[in-house]
Structure 1
Amino acid sequence: MNYRKGTNIETSKQSRIVFLDYLRVISITMVLMVHAIEIFYLAVDRVSIKPDDEFWVNFMSSSLRACVPLFVMASGYLLVPIKEKPSVFYKKRFSRILFPFILWSILYAVVPFLFGADNFDIMQSKLIILLHNFNLESGHLWFIYMLIGIYLFLPIISPWLQITSKHFIEFYLVLWFFSSFHHYLKIVFPNGVFGEVFWNEFHSLWYFSGHLGFVVLAFFFLENLFI
């Protein structure tokens, strides 16, 4: 596949990118496997992990948790750089995800009440929680919040990606990669690292962390590997 450097593939005349289809199939399979194995390792309280299964839980989860980052990279590969106005981009993206997201979030809060599993007060409490977060029953929709954040930031970071150099993107990716080990550093230094204290959770590399890095990584691959 030959694409002009800097072209937004979503607007390209090429209607299909075969390897991304395969990537989606692999990612979907990994998501299904992640959720399918949960019942085999959750303890009776459905929160803690069975002590005897810790090794296999860690092995399976660690092997499959790349599913969401792969989806994010596929989105970044297709969307960046953005060639349309931010208002057009926001309207197009959010019109696709917000209505189904709101609908299913409400259903997960209301349906247990309709079938007698929850009383009215519990249902009301779940609906109120939806104003600021998801409920336990809809916990698998956490990624929508992440996706909303990425969509909001894409028109901001896209102009930088278009004008910056390869080495500067590599510099960003190195810092982003290092920031991914932050939680492991917290095990060694539980009181905080890189400026963290109880009144400030934003450490030095906080601004380089998160799923946005997978978007930048996908753009880096697009510009330097698939040209």
Structure 2
Amino acid sequence: MILRKDRIFYLDEVRALAILFVLLAHTIKNFPVNINYLTSPTLLSYLTISRMGVPLFFMLSGALLIGKDYSLSEFFKKRFSRVLIPAIFWYVILFISVAYANGFNFDLMYEWIYDAPFPWFACAIIGVYLLIPIFSSFVKEYGTRGAGYFIFIWLILVVLTNFNLAEDYYAKLIFGNFGIYIGFAVLGYYLANKEFNIYSLPMVIFSTIIFIACLVFNMYNAYYFKTVFYIESFSIILQCSALFLILRYLSKYASFNPSKTLSKIHNFIKDSWIGAIVYALSVCSYTIYLMHYQIVDLLVQFYPITTFDLVPVVFILLTVITLAIVLILSKIPIVNKLIGIH
């Protein structure tokens, strides 16, 4: 896999972390239900981190697509094909494998089609794509200030919902479909384009403090109040924003201060085998997302997670196996066009 020079490395870092968080979340979901994960600080820390996966994906969509110049026909043709073709391909592959494993039992096949785990993400991202041209026109007219205005209104609604200050009907109306996702997309655009009046290193330090504070707060709430926050939580939004800014401004600091120790560490990661893995995870992230459910199900059958310390073991195995499968498939003509690598 050849590294493209036109890619922005910190966005590849965000995408690589996003898919790792998703894999971690679905590894945790396979933890034995008879064990109460809310009593384990270790498992809670995994949950607190893994919640960032889906928001980061939508933030990337906004960072990469909002405000760009394109025709509507070109945009929808390219974006919809990138989402739908791989989704249909993997849906068919998984359906055939499930049907074969269950002896083509009609009732089980129907149940699997109805409860299939991944189509919701494809539907959500398509919904966001339908709205992105509208927001692109808006930010071209009003810039980051206009995006900031939208985010301000969006965060007010998030806070009202978080503190049960809005009726359930209105909360579902706002967040039940695309509201929360397009909000993350606009937030990603804003954080990628807004020039804050602060130097890079102080921004990295400040964002790191915010990120750690959110992690501690979320873990504390989960451990003592039995509340595991979801993506529409204000603290998860802040946590994702802080991580995004850490990576953006660390990259900016390294480009302007190459002789500094922190910059040397960053550039070593970027130019070494670690950077190659980050790039591979980034370009394969959507494919991995679509096909990893079956792999994690097989893994926990042969390597059941019975203790907390097995979670990282299964997570690492899942990551290595899914990435290896995708890289192998990427070498096969025609198949490499269908599986969703970009």
What TM-score, normalized to structure 2? Answer: 0.48
Deviation at 1:141, TM superposition (A): 4.3
Partner of 2:322: none
**What per-residue deviation string (whole Å, max 9, x for no partner) do you get for residues 124-176 of structure 1?**
4544x4xxxxx2xx314432121111111111221011102544432211221
Quick one: distance in 2 between partners of 1:73 and 1:52?
29
Report which of the two has the higher share of helix.
2
Secondary structure of the 1:63 match is helix
| Aligned counterpart, 2:50 | 64
Provide Cα deviations, 1:1-59, integer angstroms capped at 9, x if missing partner: xxxxxxxxxxxxx712121122222222222222222223x415xxxxx4363554554
Moved more, 52-61 or 168-177: 52-61
Q: Aligned to 1:43, which of 29, 33, 36?
A: 33
Counterpart pick for 2:93 among 98, 107, 117: 107
Q: Where do residues 38-187 of structure 1 align in structure 2 (5 Å cutoff)? A: 38-40=29-31, 42-43=32-33, 50-51=35-36, 53-54=38-39, 56=41, 57-116=43-102, 119-124=105-110, 126-127=112-113, 129=114, 135=115, 138-164=116-142, 166-181=144-159, 183-186=161-164
Cα distance change of structure 1 residues 30 and 196 upon mapping to structure 2, 3 Å threshold = closer
Q: Does the 8 Å contact 2:124/2:178 carry over to 1?
A: no
Report if aligned partners of 1:179, 1:206 keep a CA contact under 8 Å in 2.
no
| Aligned residue pair count | 193
Residue 79 of structure 1: CA displacement?
1.4
CA contact (8 A) 2:37 2:44 kept: no
C-alpha change, 1:209 and 1:55, in structure 2 (3 Å) is farther
Alpha-carbon distance between aligned partners in 1 of 2:176 and 2:99, rounded to the nearest angstrom: 40
Relative to structure 2, which stretch is displaced further, 102-111 or 152-161?
Answer: 102-111
Distance 1:169 1:124, change over 3 A: closer
1:202 counterpart residue number: 173
CA distance in 1, matches of 2:179, 2:81: 27
Classify the secondary structure of the residue corresponding to 2:30.
helix
Q: Distance in 1 between matches of 2:53 and 2:111?
A: 32
Q: Does the Cα contact within 8 Å between 1:82 and 1:155 map onto a contact in 2?
A: no
1:168-220 per-residue CA deviation (whole Å, 9 max, x = no partner) reads 4322112212323455334xx7xxx35838xx9536x8899311112212222
* Cα drift, residue 90 of structure 1: 0.4
Question: 1:24 — aligned with what?
Answer: 15
Give the share of equivalent positions with the same residue, in percent.
27
Report the AA paired with residue 81 of structure 1: G
- Aligned CA-pair RMSD: 3.3
The structure-2 alpha-carbon separation of the partners of 1:154 and 1:107, relative to structure 1 and needing over 3 Å to count, comes to same
- 8 Å Cα contact 2:138-2:146 kept in structure 1: no
Bigger mean CA deviation after superposition, 75-84 or 147-156:
75-84
Structure 1 counterpart of 2:95, which letter?
A
> In structure 2, what is the Cα distance between the partners aligned to 1:110 and 1:208?
31
Change (3 A) 1:64 1:115: closer
The DSSP-based 3-state class of the residue aligned with 2:6 is coil
Q: Which structure 1 segments of 5+ residues have no match?
A: 1-13, 45-49, 130-134
Residues 128 and 178 of structure 2 are in contact (CA less than 8 Å); yes or no, is this contact kept in structure 1?
no
Equivalent of residue 217 in structure 1, options 187, 211, 231: 187
Question: What is the distance in 1 between the residues matched to 2:179 and 2:123?
Answer: 16
TM-score (norm: length of structure 1): 0.69
SS at match of 1:139: coil
CA contact (8 A) 2:14 2:56 kept: yes
1:173/1:213 contact within 8 Å kept: yes
Greater displacement, 64-73 / 145-154: 64-73
Change (3 A) 1:201 1:141: closer
1:119 Cα deviation after fit: 1.4
Identify unmatched segments of 5+ residues in structure 2. 196-247, 253-342
